[in-house]
Amino acid sequence: MPKQDPMDRTKGFFKKNLETIPHKKRVDYLNRKLRGIIQYAYKHSVAVKNKLDSVGLKPRDIQTIKDLEKIPITKKADLVELQKENPPFGGFEGVPLNELRRIYVSPGPIHEPGDPEYEEVGWAQALYAGGFRPGDIVINTFSYHMVPFAMEMVDNSLYRIGCVTVPTGVGNTEQQVHVLKNLKVSGFCGTPSFLLNMAEKAEEMGLDLKKDLSLQVAFVAAEMLPESLRLKLEEKFGLILRQSYGTADIGCLGYECMLKNGMHVPDDKIVEIVDPETGKPLPPGKTGEIVATTFNKVYPLIRFGTGDLSLLTETPCPCGRTSPRLVKILGRVDQVTKVRGLFVHPGQANEVALKHSEIEKYQIVVTRKEHKDEMTLRVELKEETLHSEQLKQEIERSIRDVMKVRGEVQFVPKGTIPDGVKKIDDQRTWE
Ligand SMILES: [Zn+2]
């Protein structure tokens, strides 16, 4: 029997007036919000005041998004240090400690303040764009312990949309499958790998994923989502699966709509892509570090460096949302290498490998010869007999297309590249 679903999960907006606002008006709106949070944070957050003072800035010097580049970037490692010196939040909190509802503890260790009233809209926009609707019964399988994501961010956002949450947390796969069945759960929040675990467990228990279960939407985060895994899960359960991106410190920074063409930046953040070396903003289409500024008065992080790499696009999305989009997350800044002046990162190597199904394993090796960078892609093929000059040339062309830098392909015998090896091996020395 086909699933009965009277509601249209593929259309509509959570905050239509903001999500479809024309570009120029969005810029005006964000500039106004930026001036507001800078004024507020300078007055109420010691750390933000120190940060501006350290470069001789006053709140009036920050009028528009373009002025943001004058403010130094705070990296995660800086946050850990600042919190050690001035616990629990390094002075970033924008309200007195006794007005908070909770204190979260994330790996680092890093503490995050829990809002008395959760006001962020990003995750709710993400869930709605991913097809979650009022009345959905949702299992939230992210961890409720210590960290803020499940309880503070996802739980509150589901409630705001009008969904009913079952706070199942991590693990207990078999029990969670029973919950799915008994409560006719229609929505899943969690990692893609846990959803796959649940699919396998349910099949093992003899259930038909489409007939016996009622899952229709899945919201995933916190892991890379290969397109092949998305398709597999969507097909197995007969559901819509959309991903989003953010951090525990600053919340949602991007979410997919039904069209899956990148991740829309929510309207309560400013997201910049910057050159990881200089901190200068880069134009759309250029790869760099994601740096975010939030309008959250409880925890006003201004120019927070996520350490993640991406690129922005401002081409209009046919879904009607007018925000810029993060095209995709390409990896971590600390895995980036510069070859002949251009950034090369593992995500690009992966993209090259995906274009050639003959490739089993690969590794980029960067060396220096006569003061020139040389890049080699070492490749193990699925079948060594495929080794040919033509394939070599085709892969080299893909390297040029994807990485914008020349590289040589070297076929190596199976077993040469160890498992779990660094995707980019930078062997250059600079003495
Ligand atoms: Zn869209």
Confidence of residue 420 (pLDDT cuts 50, 70, 90): confident
Confidence band for 431, pLDDT divided at 50, 70 and 90:
low
The predicted-structure confidence for 289-340, as pLDDT tens digits, reads as follows: 999 999 999 999 999 999 999 999 999 999 999 999 999 888 888 888 888 8
CA of 406 to the centre of ligand 1 (A): 34
pLDDT for residue 38 is more than 70: yes
Q: At a CB cut-off of 8 Å and minimum separation 6, what does 88 contact?
A: 97, 103, 111, 113
The model's pTM is 0.85
368 pLDDT tier (thresholds 50, 70, 90): confident
Cα–ligand 1 centroid distance for 321 (angstroms):
5
Q: How confident is the model at residue 4 (pLDDT cuts 50, 70, 90)?
A: very low
Kindly give the distance from the C-alpha atom of residue 33 to the centroid of ligand 1, in angstroms, as a whole number.
23
Cα distances (Å, whole numbers) of residue 249 to 109, 222, 329? 12, 13, 17
Distances (CA, A) of 141 to 107, 152, 179: 19, 14, 12
Residue 320 Cα to ligand 1 middle (Å): 6
Contact 311, 347 (CB under 8 A): no
Question: Considering only CA atoms, which of 199, 203, 146 is closest in space to residue 169?
Answer: 146
**Stretch 227-256: mean pLDDT:** 95
**Cα→Cα distances 247→174, 264, 407, Å:** 29, 15, 34
Scanning 120-256, the segments in alpha helix (DSSP H) are 122-129, 156-161, 173-182, 192-204, 227-237
Ligand 1 centroid–CA 261 distance in Å is: 7
Nearest alpha-carbon partner for 301 in 91, 55, 146: 91
Quick one: how far is CA 306 from the chain centroid? 9
Residue 76 banded pLDDT, cuts 50, 70, 90: confident
- Ligand 1 centroid to Cα of residue 324, in Å, is 9
Q: Ligand 1 mean position to 126 CA, how many Å? A: 11
| Segment among 136-140, 240-244, 387-391 with least mean pLDDT | 387-391
Contact 424, 364 (CB under 8 A): yes
DSSP symbols for 77-96: HHHHHHHHHSTTTTT--SS-
Q: What percent of the chain has pLDDT over 90?
A: 80
Distance 264 CA to ligand 1 centre (A): 7
Close Cβ partners of 390 (under 8 Å, ≥ 6 residues apart): none
Q: Give dist(CA 84, CA 79) in Å, integer.
A: 9
Q: How far is the CA of 202 from the centre of ligand 1 (A)?
A: 33
Ligand 1 center from residue 272 Cα (angstroms) = 19
Distance from Cα 254 to the centre of ligand 1, integer Å: 11
Q: What is the CA(80)–ligand 1 centre distance, in A?
A: 35
With bands split at pLDDT 50, 70 and 90, how would you rate the model's confidence at 1? very low
Q: Quick one: pLDDT at residue 102? A: 96
Question: Are 269 and 295 a contacting pair, CB within 8 Å?
Answer: yes
Ion ligand 1 neighbours (CB, 5 A) are 257, 259, 317, 319, 321
What pLDDT sits at residue 19?
A: 97
Which residue, among 177, 121, 170, has the nearest Cα to 141 in the 3D structure? Answer: 170
Average pLDDT, integer, range 405-426: 90
Residue 140 alpha carbon to ligand 1 centre in Å = 24
Q: Does the pLDDT of residue 348 top 90, yes or no?
A: no
Section 394-399 average pLDDT:
95
pLDDT of residue 6: 59
138 near 187, Cβ under 8 Å?
Answer: yes
- 206-233 per-position pLDDT tens digit: 999 999 999 999 999 988 888 889 999 9
Q: In which residue are the tokens 């190597």 written?
A: 349
Give 386 Cα–ligand 1 centroid separation in angstroms.
41
Segment 45-69 shows an average pLDDT of 97
- 56-76 in b/e form (b: 16+ CB < 10 A) is ebebeebeeeeebbebbbbbe
